Structures are given as structure tokens and as C-alpha cells.
Structure 1
């Protein structure tokens, strides 16, 4: 059997196992180990799996993963994030569509605290959505706002997905985070512009809050402002030393985790239940990601040994005559298709062994491609019929929001995201300017 057929057989077996409901890391790791043993025997096959495990254990930046996840869960479980939304509620309620705009701001800050889209979705659906519906905001628009805003969690630093991509693509995490910052803020700004324009054209979609809701004493407003800006201060205490080169990435993540813990203690909200829940969630998610990375590294090692990347490159460029840009667009489209039934980590570990080396061979920047992958994953999250965020929203939304409402809410936001993706593809410096500027200095 040729190496090309072996590679195709590996992918087919892996997809078949995933369709049976097997865990992602189990399916990928099983196929990788069995293929390694079949191709290179006991000695070579065991060496591939063992070297992948050692590579994972030696990757120092991986220590940031549990730190950032713990920080996000502490802020969420201690309700510090709720204070943030209360601040937006009071200070922006007088603007047409102000609460929807504030919800986007909340999602950006939650993303900067947690790095996972699930956390933003949970807080948005449980904290923001009931408040927006109670104040007669259009249910379709606000459902789309929460889904789109929560998707920023995998792009705005400290993105956990970009940490996984950095491990598999062997790229610096710090550069990837900086590369995702401007596109993430640009996309959030585009969402806000859309909300403002829609609410100006149709004020009933986002009515202004009543004077009674907004008319609070100045002292109480300032107290809310201080409480709401606390998460911003935690994020700044973590990122400013890192960007200025005073601390390493791992040290900054530890500062963020300690700052979140201290804030919860000082506010009297660090109960035993909060601490235990945060630790359990952190341990579970961190272990899941580590197993997935280990499986992806083993799978990628087998692919490297087969030389499958060069064979596929020759197929696209020589036999089919496609240009590098056409190949890149096809890869992005495949992410959108896979995203209708897989989550971001599954997509990454399934295709990274193939796509990442291919992108490098085609001459594209791997840091820039990491941002493209992440934006495309955001779009896939919200693409019917099986987009990940669609079903998360259905599970968390109140009964009056139907699946039809959820599907109908995402189209304008998907179009905004496609526009943002196109801009980053046409103008790579949107993503690359900040990391190049910081790391050259």
C-alpha cells in the first residue's frame, strides 16, 4: 500500500471512530499508535508515542493553560463577572441598544479573563440574556449578540485554542496572542457598529432603559464602575508586565491567577464551594486539553514519517494546478464544513498534522494562519445545522427562544465575521503588526 493510501486510511478510520461517539483524543491517539506500530514495528512505533509525550511534558508554556482556566473560573464562580455586567447596565442603558453593546464589551472582557468561548456563552446566557429580554430587547438580535460575542473567547488573548495551535504548529504563544488581539477587537467593534446601525434604523430592537433604571446616585454609579473595572485591572496586571518584557508568559499567567484569587478573597466571595468548583473545572479541562495535544503530536509524527504533506502538496499544485491562495481558501472552507459537527479542538487536531506543514510549504506565515484558523472556527461555531454555539445557546436559553430564533439570529453576525476574515486575509498586517512591533523591540 502506498503512503498516500495509508494516510487516507488513517483519516477515514479516525473519522469513523469519531462518528461512533469516541472521545477525540482516544480516536486520534489510537489511530496514531496503531499506524506507528504497523509501519515501523515495536521499536519505532513505541518511540513515536514516547517522544510525543516527552515533547508535551517539556513544553514550558503549557503551564499557562491551567493558570488561565483557573483565573476564568474564579472570576465566574465568584460573580465578579456579574458586577461587570451590572456596570454596563447602569452606565450604557441610556444609549439606543446600549445593553447589547455592553454585552459585547462584557464578552470581550470575559474572553480576556478566560480564553474559552464556553465561559462567555454561559455568562451571557445566564446573566445578560434574561436582563435583555426583561427590558424588551428583540430576542433574535440579543441571541445573536451573545453567540457572536462568546465566540471571541477563542481569539482574544489569552486564547486557549491559540495555545493548542502554538503547540502543534511549534509557534510562540506570545506572538499568536498578540496576533489575535487586533483582529479580535476589530471584530468586536464591527459587531458594535452593526448593533448601533440596526437600533438606529429600528429603535424597537434595543430600547433605551427607563429613567428609573438609570437614575442612581453618583456615588452608587462610581461604586459600580470600580467593581466592574476590577476584571480589567486583573487583566492589566497580567498582560502589561508580559508585553513590556518584565515577566515571562508563564509568570504572567501565575500573576493573573493569583490576582483573580486575591480579588475574590478581598470581596468575601472565595467560599469553599467556589474554590472547589474552580479547581475541579480547571483540572478537568486542563487534562482534556493535554490528552488532545498528546494525541495530535503522535498523529502528526506519523504523518511526518509518511511524507504525506509533500504528496498532498504535489496533488494540489502540480496535478490539480491550484495556486497557493486557492488551496488556502479550500482549507478555510473545509474548517467551516467540519465546524458544523466538530468543536474547535477536534478540528485542530484532526487537520493540523496536514494543514500546518502544508501552509508552511506554500510560503504563508504560520502565526497569521493561526489567526485565520481561529476566525474560521468562530464562523463554523455559528453555522447551521450543527454549529457548536447554536446548541449551547439552545441548551441555556429560556423556552421562549426557539431553535428557529437561534438559527435566524446568527446570519448578520456570520456575515460580519466573514468580512473580518476577508480583511485579515487581504491585509495580513492586521494580525502581524502587533507581534512584529513588540518582538522587534
Structure 2
């Protein structure tokens, strides 16, 4: 049996087992470990064992639980409530202002968390009821919250970019810097769309009534603005120390975790219940990612040993005669297709052994490609029928927001994400300039 046929058999077996509903990491790891033993005998068991040891020795991986802890601590201690109240007061008088403020809040939440689920939880439980109560169109604001929450996996410190960096063996700091401008571009396009739509159709996002605007004095508005200083101070304490070289990446994540505890204590939101819930949720998320990374490394090692990447490269460039950029477009369309049925981590684990080495072999910058992958994941989060955020929204939304409403709400924002994907693809410097500039210094 040829190595190409073995690789095809491995991939098809993995897809078949995924249809049984088993956990992604268990399927990937099982197929990789079984193939290693069948191909190379008892010595093949060293491959999954080596993958586990590699994960245990991966010092930068400590950033993952620390950043997750920081995000959950700020969410559980209700600091996000203060943040939304600030945006409510300052942006409420503008048409669509509360929706615009919600996007800005999502950017800040993303910058202190790195997970989509945290932004979704804050938006659905705090922003959505307030927006509906004030007469905002339920379809538009449902889309706003779902789209805004996806910024958590692009704006640093993105946990998905950490996972990508570990599998692609790329510096996490470079990936985070590469995600800054694309994340801000996408957020700006979201805001421009909301502002334009509410200007043309004022009933979609009515401003606050004059009586409510006048109930806050300027001094009270300034006091509320201080709510945004806590997350900003935490973010600057992490990134500032790291970018100036005072701390390493792991040390910066530890600074952020400690700063979140101090912020919760200063607000009066720190107690044993908050600490217990935060720690429990952090453990659950971290263990899931660790198992996924281990399984991906095991499966990828077997694929590399079989030469599957070289076979696919020869197929596309040699036999089919495609240009590298045409192969890249096909790869992204594959991600978009898989995103209809799978979440971001499942997509990364399934295609990482093929696409990441292939992108490098074709001459593409793997840091830039990581941003393209992450944007595609954002689209996958919102794409029916599986879209992860669609089901989260259905679970958290009030009864008047139906599943058809949720599906209809995402299409304009998916279009904006596709536009951003095109911008980053055509102009790679939007992602690569910042890390190249910083590290050249």
C-alpha cells in the first residue's frame, strides 16, 4: 500500500469517526496513534508519547490558562457591566449608538480575554436585553453581538492564535501583533455598517430620549468613563511590559492574571464563589486545548512521516498546474466549507497537518496565513447550520429572538468578514507590518 493511500485512509477514517459524535481530540489522537503502531510496530508508540512530552515542555503554552483565567475573572466579577454602562451613557445619544458601543465593548473584552465565548456571554446577558428594551431591531442587534464576540479570537491575546502558533511552530508574539490591525479593521467595518444602516433606517437603532440623556451630569459621565480604565490598564500592563522587553510572554500573562484579581478586589467583586467559578472554567477550557494540541501533534507527526504534504503539493502544483495563490484560495474555500459543520479547533486539528506545511512550502508567510485562518474561523462561528455562536445565542437569547431571527442576523456580518478576508489576502502588509516593524527594532 502506497503512503499516499495510507494518508487518504487515515483522513477518511478520522472524518468517519467524527460523524459518530466522539470528542475531536479523542478521534484525532486515536487515528494518529493507531496508524503509528500499525505502520511502525511497537516503536510507533513513541510518536504520541513524544507529542505529550513536547506539550509538557512547551513553556509558552502556560500563557493559555493564564489569559483564560484573566478573562473569566473580569467577567465573573462584573467589571464588564461597568464597561457597558459607560458605553451606554456616552454613545446612547447617537443613532445606533448602543450597538456601536457594544462593538467597542467587545473589542475591549477581546483584548482582555481571547475567547469568543466570553464576549458572547457578556453581550447576550448584558447588552442584548438592554438593546431590545430600548427598541433596537432584534435581528440587527443579535447579529451585532454574535459578530462582535468573534473578535475575541483575532484581537490579542487570542487563544486560537496560541493554538495555531503551537501547531505551526510560529512565535505567539508575532501572531498576536499580526492580529491587531485586521481585528481593528473588522471592528471598524462593523461600526461603519451599523452607523450607515441606522442613519438610513433610524427605527433600527433609535437614540436615547432627551430625558434619559439629561439625567447624567458631565461629572457623572466622566466618573463612568473610569470603568473603561480598568480593562485598559490591565491590557497595557500586559502588552506594554512585553513589548518593551521587561517581561517575557509568559510573565506578561501572569501579570494580567494577577492584575485581574486586583481589579476584581478593588471593585468589590472578589469572593470565594467568583474565584471557584473562574478556576473551574479555566481548568475546563485549558484541558480541552491541551488535549487538542497533543492530538494534533501526534496526527501531524504521522502525516509528516508519510510525506502526505509533499504528495498534495505535487498534485496541485505539478499534476494540476495550479499557481500558489490558486492553491491558497482552494484551501480557504475548504475552511469555509468545513466551517459549516465544524468549530475552529476541530478545523485546525483536522487540516493543520496538511494545510500549514503546504502553505509554508508554497512560500507563504505562516504568520500571515494564521491571520487568514483565524478570520475564516470567525466566519465559521457564524455560518449556519453549525455555527458555534448561533447555538450559544439561541441558548442565551430571550424567547422573542427565534432561531430564524438568529440565522438571518448574521449574513451582513459574514459578508463584512469575507471582505476583511479579501483585504488581508490582497494586502498582506496589514497583518505583517506590525510584527516585522517591532522585531526589526
TM range (shorter): over 0.9
**1:400 aligns to what SS in structure 2?**
coil
- Residues of 1 paired with 2:289 and 2:368: CA distance? 23
Question: How far did 1:228 drift?
Answer: 2.8
Tell me the distance in 1 between the aligned counterparts of 2:34 and 2:46: 13
| Aligned residues of 1:340 and 1:388 also touching (Cα < 8 A) | no
Looking at structure 1, the residues matched to 405 and 234 of structure 2 have their Cα atoms a distance apart, in angstroms, of 36
* Matches of 1:167 and 1:74, distance apart in 2: 25
> Residue 220 of structure 1: CA displacement?
2.2
User: 1:171 corresponds to which residue?
Assistant: 170
> Hey, what does 2:159 align to over in structure 1?
160
Correspondence list, 1:118-157, <5 A: 118-157=117-156
So what's the TM-score if we normalise by structure 2? Answer: 0.98
Shift of 1:17: 1.3
The alpha carbon displacement at 1:218 in A equals 2.6
Q: 2 CA distance for matches of 1:77 and 1:199?
A: 32
Query: 1:233 and 1:313 mapped to 2: Cα distance?
Result: 47
Equivalence for 1:201: 200
Indicate conservation of the 8 Å contact 1:70/1:282, yes or no: yes
Written as runs of structure 1 = structure 2, the 5 A alignment for 1:228-267 is 228-267=228-267
* Distance across 2 between alignment mates of 1:227 and 1:389: 27
**How far apart in 1 are the matches of 2:180 and 2:217?**
36
- The runs of at least 4 consecutive aligned structure 1 residues that moved more than 6 Å come to none
Alpha-carbon shift at residue 300 of structure 1 (Å): 0.5
Q: Give 1:344 deviation, angstroms.
A: 0.6
2:306 is matched with which residue?
306
Consecutive unaligned residues in structure 1, runs of 5 or more: none
Other-structure match for 1:370: 370
366-375 or 220-229, which moves further after superposition? 220-229
Aligned to 1:439: 439
Contact (CA 8 Å) 1:96, 1:207: kept in 2 or not? yes
What residue number does 1:272 align with?
272
Query: Secondary structure of 1:406's match?
Result: helix
User: In structure 1, what is the equivalent of residue 394 of structure 2?
Assistant: 394
Aligned pairs for 1:35-434 within 5 A: 35-43=35-43, 45-215=44-214, 216-434=216-434
Number of aligned residue pairs: give it.
440
C-alpha separation in 2, matches of 1:197 and 1:359: 38
Shift of 1:359: 0.4
Q: Which moved more, 1:22-31 or 1:214-223?
A: 214-223
Aligned to 1:7: 7
RMSD: 0.9
2: CA distance, partners of 1:114 / 1:135: 28
TM-score between both structures, scaled by the size of structure 1: 0.98
Q: CA deviation at 1:392?
A: 1.4
Bigger Cα displacement from structure 2, 121-130 vs 318-327: 318-327
8 Å Cα contact 1:164/1:293 also seen in 2 = yes
8 Å Cα contact 1:74-1:264 kept in structure 2:
yes
SS for the counterpart of 1:410 is: helix
Following superposition, the deviation at residue 211 of structure 1 comes to 2.2
Aligned counterparts of 1:286 and 1:257: Cα–Cα separation in 2: 14
- Ranges in structure 2 where 5+ consecutive residues have no aligned partner: none
1:47 Cα deviation after fit: 1.4
SS in 2 for 1:335: helix
Deviation (angstroms), 1:316: 1.0
**Cα distance in 1 between the residues matched to 2:227 and 2:394:** 31
Distance in 2, matches of 1:38 and 1:222, equals: 67
The answer for the alignment partner of 2:24 in structure 1 is 24
- The superposition leaves residues 344-389 of structure 1 with CA deviations (integer Å, 9 ceiling, x where unpaired) of 1111011001101100111100000000000011112111222221
1:312 aligned counterpart, secondary structure? helix
Instruction: For residues 229-263 of structure 1, give each alpha carbon's deviation from its aligned partner in whole angstroms, at most 9, with x where no partner exists.
Output: 21111111111111222211001101100000001
Per mean C-alpha deviation after superposition, the further-off stretch among 176-185 and 333-342 is 333-342
